[in-house]
Structure 1
Amino acid sequence: MTYLMVLGGLILLFIGGEALVRGSVSVARKLNISELVIGLTLVGFGTSVPELVTSLRAIGQDAVGIAVGNVVGSNIANILLVLGLAAVIRPILTNPRALARDGMIMLAVTALLCALIWFDMFTRPVGIGLLGLLLAYLTYSFIADQRRGSEAAAMHAAEGEVVEAHYGLFVGLLIALGGLVGVVLGARLLVDGGVVIARDLGISETVIGLTIVAVGTSLPELVTSVVAAYRGKSDVALGNVIGSNIFNVLGILGVTAVVHPFTLRGDIAVEAMSQGRASSIISSTDIGALILSVFLLMLFAMTGKRIARWEGAVLLLAYVLYFGLLFDLIPVPGIIPYG
């Protein structure tokens, strides 16, 4: 029964996330909002709503490992799994100039996330600061793209155009609301089922968050990126992943910390230590995988002007390797000290 809950949660998250994005985009088009704004905000934020609702549900259940593991695992999955699969289907053409700004911002945001994890700084003021940074990023991106008509602007506009949604205002609203309900119900089933499975099998909740939950909440990005690559709009797939990773850190962790400040240490360290992990429930292996995934993305995207099929295969292989490390199939000494 528990496994059916998780499966049902994954299905509802996927269907609900897709409906929310398509309904919102349809309403935006009816209101004559530009494809640039749609791509920069609705698509990036919409595909991250499953992560947001899931993390809020998890933090409300005191399942901190699932809440934070969901964000960290989703960012890793977005690059290694989503982009890797998209590149294997069709090589992803890249425009280094278009990726320069958002790519550098993603690097900075990833470094910020690692620092917050290392120093365990998920307080309400920090959450407000993260949301402020997200607002500043969106404002700057919109103003810069409008003024210069840059390659980045074309990429963001294409992200909006790749979503086929022309339902009209009323139908679009109904679809968006239905999608939001589906996401909320799906997050509830996924988190509650994930907690039970972790306890029954003696698996860390963090591992559940980094794997099952993270992959499940990344399904909207997976579908969007694969469809974009299949249609030959591969730069959209890359832009979608970069934008989603920025939203995940600044938006999701920001909102979560504002609503319910939390710690990665303290009493919850018992769970981590019982699983052979560091005193922080996010281990050095997780941080290393996050840093490596961003490094590989920037390396492949900025050299050769495309992510080739073999490079996509490397990303997928790295994701398989990460799973092996998570489930202790490959022993790795801890770097973060206990206590």
Structure 2
Amino acid sequence: MTLAVDIILVISGIAVLLLGGDFLVRGAVALANRAGISPLIVGLTVVAFGTSAPEMVVSAAAAISNAPGLAVGNIVGSNIANIFLVLGLPAILMPMATRAPGVGRNALIALAASVLFIALSWDRMLDLTDGLILGALIIVYVIYLAIGATRAKDDPVIAELTEAATVGDVPVSTGRMLFFLLVGIVALPIGANLIVEGASDIAALLGVSDAIIGLTIIAFGTSLPELATAAVAAMKRHSEVAIGNVIGSNIFNIFAVGGITGISAGLIRGGAPIAQEFFVLDFWVMLAAAVIAAVLVLTRRPIARVTGAVLFLGYCGYIAALAYTSLS
């Protein structure tokens, strides 16, 4: 296939993937609400895992299809984009406060998750054991959120997930609910396969690793929902929603997406090899992003327009560095 066709495949795959994830979450929320499950539990389970479903499906499909660089690049690139791009760009439009309760704890958890992911990858392999460790930790994290919800109802991560379970265009009729679920279940793997096929071909045609495509195109595409949420929240002066969304997303990316990647690759291929190139730049940029987010939150310093511009330029510099190293 030509480069243009492959690019269309990837763009179409991202669109189908995001549509499928949205439909799956709405249908599952409707089903859970009908079963009488509380909004808090629905938010912490159905919404939390449903919104991470696109990244999980892409990384699992990439790992199974022997494109481990794409799988790991999706995780690492999304976490980098979430801090530098998703927080930086909206802050240029409207300064963002970081004083929301509970954000500091979640920022430290996100930082610890980044350190752990690098440590588990140190042997250049994300195997079944690593996947089970990360998978167990996402369960622990959800339980932590559930317990914390009883005494920290204003935690933005909890508040956002609970709100998503109670508002929005949730189908009411049984037929519409089943339709949403069916579309989500069918669209997710279709979108993931389009992305993996197109991205692998693009990497081959350009003579770059699939990790580069995962770190850039795929990571940017799967971060679009967070970017849209952050921009709207910043304009409405609800920056706590944006902060909670980004930090919660980064935690789920490492624990849930990393977990499913390690488990699927471990069961099918004995593990997902981690390319040496991740240790040259990408892991350290991801770690630096987690440190910067934690410092901003713990010092309660608002993300001013200048800070937002620095973050955004940092992301542009990172992408430029990837382009330079891949083409040199």
**TM-score, structure 1 normalization:** 0.85
Unaligned runs of 5+ residues in structure 1 are: 270-279, 333-339
Deviations 1:75-100 (A, max 9, x none): 11111111222323333222253212
Alpha-carbon distance in 2 for matches of 1:308, 1:4:
37
State the 1:119 CA deviation: 2.8
String of CA shifts for 1:259-311, please: whole Å, max 9, x gaps: 2222435xxx6xxxxxxxxxx14132101210121122222233345322222
Q: Which amino acid in 1 is paired with 2:163?
A: E
User: In structure 2, what is the Cα distance between the partners aligned to 1:94 and 1:173?
Assistant: 39
1:166-245 to 2 correspondences below 5 Å: 166-168=170-172, 170=174, 171-245=176-250
Aligned partner of 2:117 in structure 1 is: 113
Alpha-carbon distance in 1 for matches of 2:206, 2:223: 24
SS at structure 2 position matched to 1:78: helix
Partner amino acid, structure 1, of 2:218: V
Q: Which residue among 95, 102, 107 is the counterpart of 1:98?
A: 102
Name the amino acid aligned to 1:120: R
Pick one of 50, 59, 62 that aligns with 1:58: 62
Compared CA separation, residues 166 and 264, structure 1 to 2 (3 A) = closer
Change in CA separation of 1:217 and 1:155 when aligned onto 2, cut-off 3 Å: closer
CA RMSD of aligned residues (A): 2.4
Q: Whole-Å Cα distance in 1 between the matches of residues 108 and 244 of structure 2?
A: 13
Is 2:223 the partner of 1:253?
no
Contact 1:26/1:165 (8 A) holds in 2: no
* 1:113/1:176 CA distance change after superposition, 3 Å: same
Partner of 2:279: 283
Cα separation, 2, equivalents of 1:327 and 1:206 = 12
**Are the structure 2 counterparts of residues 177 and 231 from structure 1 closer, same or farther at C-alpha, using a change threshold of 3 Å?**
farther
**Structure 1 pair 21–306 and aligned structure 2 pair: CA distance change class (3 A):** farther
Distance 1:35 1:16 in 2: 22
Aligned CA distance change for structure 1 residues 247 and 326 (closer, same or farther; 3 Å): same
Which runs of structure 1 show a deviation greater than 4 angstroms over 4 or more consecutive aligned residues?
A: 329-332
In structure 1, what is the Cα distance between the partners aligned to 2:65 and 2:325? 30
Runs of 5+ consecutive residues of structure 2 not aligned to the other structure:
none
Range with bigger deviation, 189-198 or 120-129:
120-129
Give the share of equivalent positions with the same residue, in percent.
Answer: 40
Per-residue deviation, 1:241: 1.3
SS in 2 for 1:95: coil
